Each structure stands twice: as structure tokens, then as C-alpha cells.
Structure 1
Amino acid sequence: MNFSRTVRRLYPRVRIVNLMEFEQETTVQDMPAATPAGPLKLAPQRNPVELTKREEEILQLIAEEYTSQEIAGRLFISMRTVEVHRLNLTQKLSVRNVAGLVKEAVRRGLVK
């Protein structure tokens, strides 16, 4: 614990995670604040998603507010193909609609 405080004092931008072992089951909420920065907060882990080049193109165009018809014309593919890619993207990113698709794509850094 003293080591953590020293590092925080010398390098204030460094984030420290102290790992502790317990003999009995405990939760993060039961642990004391490990560093001056506060208690440990765990973010939900998401598996990295693998998109095809075409899915990346379509996702970017969706984020730029192109309609399915505009995307189809721009990429020289059918509207049905665009809709299938859109469906695959919503499944891969575990979202329900286009708003969720764009929100998740931005959160993951998949669009510019």
C-alpha cells in the first residue's frame, strides 16, 4: 500500500491496480479503497468483434447517416445486401437498432 502511494505521488497520471488474495469469497464492493484514486471499478468486458471490410464500410456510412438506398448505390450492391450487412452488424455488436449500432461503434472506436 505504501508503494502505491509513493508511485501515485511521483507519477500522478499512472493508474494502479492492487491485486489482493482472500481466503473467503468477497466482492469488489467489500474491498477497501486500494489507492488514493478510489476503489477499484470494473467495466464489463466485451469480446473484440471482427468485422469484414464491407461491414466496416457499411458501418461507417451508417454512422454518416446514409440511408440503405444511398449505401447500396454508393457501393454498387443491392439494398437487400445492405440490410443483411446491417443485421449482421447489429448481431455482432449486440445491439437492437441503428442508434445502438452507431453508439456502440463509436464506443469501440470502429468509426471515425
Structure 2
Amino acid sequence: MTKTPAAKDPTRNVWLQLGFPDAEEHFLKAELVLRLDKAINSLGLTQRAAARRIGATQPELSKILGGKFSEVSLERLMRFLTALGCHIEIKIGAGQENKAGDVTIKDVRRTAA
């Protein structure tokens, strides 16, 4: 039996429980924001210093880290992470015929600077 990806699992994705049409995208963004927060903390950066480094303003970064990230694209969140030295790997593989694929975030790790 295959494991249901977290983004498609209603017990793990609150946006699915709430009936959001783009629940999987919300879940993925939340995962990236959590990793963004971890990267900032692991580097010992203030929000102001982190914002400068990623090309955002401190108020914008504060909003994102505070959970208001619906207007921020997945691409932009990934750019923020790479600006902080994180390595992001995207894999595309063949899925099962007549079945929708999925997107998962398994690991985002910082590269040696």
C-alpha cells in the first residue's frame, strides 16, 4: 500500500479539512515557510538581516513568517530559501496512468557556504 502524500492527507492538511480549492498549494507553501523560519534561525539572522538577504522587506517577511503567505508564490518562497543557502531539488517522475500526480516536500537542506 502506498503512503498518501501529506498534502493530500486530510488528517495532515488543515486546508483540505476546511475545503480550500487550492489546499495542496497552501500546504506546500506552509512547509516552505516553516523551512524558511528554520533557516533564518539556524543562521542566527534577525528578520531585518534575513529580509535584506532574501530581497524582501522586514514587514513582508514578518507577515510571511506569521502565516500570511497566500499571496506569495511557491517560486518566490523557493528563491528565499536558496538566498539563505538552502538546496532545493525538484524531481519529476512518471506517475500511474489515470491517476493524478502529487508534489511533496521531503527535504530542504542548507548547503555549505
- What TM-score do the two structures reach when normalised by structure 1? 0.32
Which has the greater radius of gyration? 1
